[in-house]
Amino acid sequence: ALFNWLYARHTGGKFILRIEDTDQARNSEAFLKLIYDSLSWLGMDWDEGPNPDGVGERGSFGPYRQSQRADIYQHYLQKLREAGRVYEKDGAIWFKLLGERYQTFDEHRKKEVEKVKSGPVVIADQIRGRVERMEDEDFVIFRSDGNPVFHFVNVVDDIAMQVSHIIRGEDHLSNTSKHVRLYEGFGVTPPVFAHIPLILKSPEMGQGKMSKRDKGALIEEYQSRHFLPEALVNYLALLGWNAGDDREKMDIADIVRLFDLPGVNQSNAKFDGRKLAHMNMQYLLALSPERFLELARDYFQRQPAGVVALANPAYFQEIMRLAQPKIKGLEELAAYTGYFWSEDFSVDPKVKEKVMGKGEPQVRLAELLAAVPGMDFSSDASIEAGIKALAEGKGLGFGDYQAVARLAVSGTNAGPSLTSIFRVLGQGRVSERLRKFQAAG
C-alpha cells in the first residue's frame, strides 16, 4: 500500500528493497526522501544500505540511468543480441518474440501490426494462482534516443539485484507477461510474483484506482494531518487482508506475525476515510497521557495558537488531559480547545440561539455569577457541589445552569465537563467570562 510495488530480495529475515520510481516529472532525490520520511514516520525499520555494483539497493532507474547503470543495461542488451533476440527498427531496439509471424489489423490502434503466434505466458502468482496471458507482439526495449524502456530496466535491475519477490499492484499483471518473456530471454528463472489488489478511490475522490497523484494517496498527507501512524498502518493492512478472525486492531508486530501473501484478497478495496478516522480515534484513546501530551505538543508547535498554548506547560497538560478522551483526531485539537488560550473566543450563534431560547438563561446566569465567588474551585467535585447547592436552593438542577454557563465560558455546547472547564479556567476568569457574556446580552 505504501509504494504500490515492492521489489525485494529476502535474505535471512531481512528484505532488501529496490525502490523504483521512474516518474520523470519528479525530482528523484526528493522522492527518495519522501519515502524515507514516510517509512520512519510509520515506525518501520530501515537503513539505506550499500550500493554495490552500481546497482543500488536504493536502485532506481531514473537518477542512475545515465551514469552508473548504463553499462549494465548495455551488458544485458548484449546478452540478448548474442541470443539473437533483438533487432533494430525505426532507430529503436526491439525484443523479438519466438513464434510464427503474421500481419493483422489492430482495432485499438487503427493500424496494421505484426503479431507473433506463441504459447501463452504462464505467470505463477502467489495471490492469483496460475494466470495465463498471450504476449503476441514484439516490444521496444531501447528507445531511439538510446534510453532503455521500463520493462527492460525493471527486469535487468531485478536480476542484477537478485530480487526474489515482486509484490506490486494488480495493474502490473498485464505487463508481467512481457517481463516473464524477458526473464526467459536472459535464461533466468523469474522471481516470485504476488499481484496485490488495488486501493480504489472513495466516491468523494472519484472513480477508479487510487494513484499517487490523488489526494490522500500519500503517507505525507496523513502525517501532516497528525494521524497516528499506527492507526494508518493498521487500517491499510486491513484493506485486502485480514487476520483470519474478527480482530481488527493490531499493531505492526501482530501484522508482521500474521501476514502471509497467499492470505491476501484478490479483489480491490475502496478507501474509506471514516473507518480510518475511527481507527485513529481508537488508537488516540489508547495512548498513554504522556504520549498524548508529547504528540499534542508537536501538533501545537505548528499551530497559530501554539505559542500561547505552550507558554504554560502545566496549564497545557491540564487541558490535554481533558481533551484526549473527547477528540477523534489530533487535528481537532486547536479548534476544540481554542477558548482556553484566549479571552477573545467566538460564540457559536446557532448554539447561542438554542441555549438562550430555552428556560430563563439570563436569570440562571445572574444567579451563577453571584454564586461563583463563594464557590470552592479546588476540584471538579467541589465545583459540582457548589452549583448543585445553588440549584437546589432554587428548586432546580445542575442541568439548568450547565448550558448557559458553558456557552458563556466556552462559546459552544461541545467540550469537556463544565466543572473541569471551570476548574481549569479558575474562579477569576470564570467570573469575568460570565460577566462579559451577560453584558453582551
- When the beta carbons of 187 and 213 are compared against RNA, the nearer one is 213
Report the alpha-carbon angle 20-23-29, nearest 5: 70
Among 147-155, 216-224, 225-233, 369-377, which window interacts with RNA (CB under 7 A)?
Answer: 147-155
Residues 296-325 close enough to bind RNA by CB under 7 A? 325
Among 158-166, 224-232, 395-403, 431-439, which window interacts with RNA (CB under 7 A)?
Answer: 395-403
Among 36-44, 204-212, 339-347, 428-436, which window interacts with RNA (CB under 7 A)?
Answer: 204-212
In the complex, minimum distance from the CB of residue 45 to RNA, in angstroms, rounded to a whole number: 26
If one asks whether residue 426 binds RNA (CB under 7 A), the answer comes out as no
Residue type, 191: P
**Separation of alpha carbons 255 and 268, rounded Å:** 20
* Consecutive H or E run containing 289: helix 289-301
In the complex, minimum distance from the CB of residue 293 to RNA, in angstroms, rounded to a whole number: 18
If one asks whether residue 106 binds RNA (CB under 7 A), the answer comes out as yes
Distance between alpha carbon 402 and the CA centroid of its chain, in Å?
40
Residues 323-362 close enough to bind RNA by CB under 7 A? 325-326, 328
- When the beta carbons of 13 and 399 are compared against RNA, the nearer one is 399
Q: Do residues 57 and 49 make contact, with C-beta atoms less than 8 angstroms apart?
A: yes
Q: Is 417 exposed, middle or buried (0-12, 13-18, 19+ CB in 10 A)?
A: middle
Among 11-19, 195-203, 370-378, 424-432, which window interacts with RNA (CB under 7 A)?
Answer: 195-203
If one asks whether residue 57 binds RNA (CB under 7 A), the answer comes out as no
Q: How many CA atoms lie within 13 A of 56 on its CB side?
A: 20
In the complex, minimum distance from the CB of residue 135 to RNA, in angstroms, rounded to a whole number: 9
Q: How many residues bind RNA (CB under 7 A)?
A: 80
- When the beta carbons of 286 and 311 are compared against RNA, the nearer one is 286
Among 170-178, 301-309, 313-321, 356-364, which window interacts with RNA (CB under 7 A)?
Answer: 170-178
70-82 and 173-186 are packed helices; what angle lies between their axes, rounded to 10 degrees? 70
Residues 108-137 close enough to bind RNA by CB under 7 A? 108-109, 128-129, 131-134
DSSP 372: G
If one asks whether residue 419 binds RNA (CB under 7 A), the answer comes out as yes
Q: Do residues 390 and 364 make contact, with C-beta atoms less than 8 angstroms apart?
A: no
Distance between alpha carbon 218 and the CA centroid of its chain, in Å?
6
Q: How many CA atoms lie within 13 A of 115 on its CB side?
A: 13
**Separation of alpha carbons 34 and 68, rounded Å:** 23
Please select the residue that binds RNA; options are 11, 14, 23, 224, rule is CB under 7 A. Answer: 23
- When the beta carbons of 199 and 219 are compared against RNA, the nearer one is 199
Please select the residue that binds RNA; options are 198, 228, 368, 375, rule is CB under 7 A. Answer: 198
Q: How many CA atoms lie within 13 A of 110 on its CB side?
A: 0
In the complex, minimum distance from the CB of residue 116 to RNA, in angstroms, rounded to a whole number: 13
Please select the residue that binds RNA; options are 28, 234, 280, 402, rule is CB under 7 A. Answer: 402
Please select the residue that binds RNA; options are 10, 16, 22, 297, rule is CB under 7 A. Answer: 22
- When the beta carbons of 304 and 399 are compared against RNA, the nearer one is 399
Query: Which string of DSSP letters, residue by residue, matches 182-198?
Result: HHHHHT----EEEEEPP
Residue type, 104: T
- When the beta carbons of 191 and 416 are compared against RNA, the nearer one is 416
In the complex, minimum distance from the CB of residue 433 to RNA, in angstroms, rounded to a whole number: 15
In 10 A of CB 213, how many CB atoms?
A: 9
- When the beta carbons of 107 and 112 are compared against RNA, the nearer one is 107
Please select the residue that binds RNA; options are 415, 430, 431, 437, rule is CB under 7 A. Answer: 415
- When the beta carbons of 10 and 260 are compared against RNA, the nearer one is 260
By C-alpha distance, which of 337, 315, 316 is closest to 416? 337
If one asks whether residue 200 binds RNA (CB under 7 A), the answer comes out as yes
Q: Do residues 429 and 435 make contact, with C-beta atoms less than 8 angstroms apart?
A: no
Residues 251-290 close enough to bind RNA by CB under 7 A? 265-270, 272, 274-275, 278, 281-282, 285
**Separation of alpha carbons 5 and 7, rounded Å:** 7
Residues 26-55 close enough to bind RNA by CB under 7 A? none
Residue whose cell numbers read 500519500:
218
Q: How many CA atoms lie within 13 A of 419 on its CB side?
A: 16
Q: Is 43 exposed, middle or buried (0-12, 13-18, 19+ CB in 10 A)?
A: exposed
Among 85-93, 156-164, 297-305, 356-364, which window interacts with RNA (CB under 7 A)?
Answer: 85-93
**Separation of alpha carbons 338 and 348, rounded Å:** 13
